[in-house]
Amino acid sequence: MSLERYWEDYAIGEQIATRGRTITDADIRMFIGATDATHPAHVDAQYAAGHPFGRVTAPGALSIGVIDGLVVRYLVPQDLKLAHYGYDKIRFLHPVFPGDTLSMTAEVTAKREKNDGFGLVCFTYRVVNQDGELCIVVEDLQMVERRPAAA
C-alpha cells in the first residue's frame, strides 16, 4: 500500500503492516521540551509507583507523534500528494510504558470525495505493543490529490 498515488487508487480494505518504534525515556523528555506537556504520570517515578499503572507512562500525545512517524516512514515515505486533514476517533486503550515497541497495521476504511482536486481517505491504525496488546486505535484522515481528468 504505497501512498504515492492518487485518491482514485485507494481501495477500501487495503492493508499494510509497519515495523516498530521503541519509546524511551528520552522520547518523553524531548516531547516535553517540544510541547511543555509534562505531568507527574510521565516524569515522577515516585508518584507513578503509587498509581494503578505502577510506573511512568508515555503521554498519549507522544504516541500520536510516534504513530505519525510510522506513517511518514512506512506508508508515505516520500509522498508529496497528501495533506493531513485531521483525525477521527483516537482511543487510548492500554498504557504505553518506556521501553515498549509500538507497531501497527494500517487499513483503508473509508473514502470520501472532497472537491475537484482532492478526496479524503480514512486510514485506521491498530497499534500494538511488543506483546501484541492493542494500545491505541486511530482513524486518520488524509486529503489526497485526485487523478487529473486528462490523465
Is residue 44 within the footprint of its own copies (CB under 8 A)?
yes
Residues 56-85 that bind its own copies (CB under 8 A): 56, 59-62, 64-74, 77-78, 80, 84-85
**How far separated are the first and last CA of the chain, in Å rounded?**
21
87 or 113, CB closer to its own copies?
Answer: 87
Task: Kindly state whether residue 104 participates in binding its own copies, applying the rule CB under 8 A.
Answer: no
Q: Where are the alpha helices (DSSP H) in 44-143?
A: 45-49, 60-70
Q: Does 20 bind its own copies (CB under 8 A)?
A: yes
For the CB of residue 107, give the shortest distance to its own copies in the complex, in Å. 19
Spell out the residues 6+ positions from residue 128 whose beta carbon is closer than 8 angstroms to its own.
102, 103, 104, 134, 135
- Say which amino acid occupies 150: A
**How far is residue 23's CA from residue 66's CA, in Å, rounded to a whole number?**
8
Binding site for its own copies (CB under 8 A): 19-22, 24-40, 43-47, 56, 59-62, 64-74, 77-78, 80, 84-92, 99, 101, 103, 130
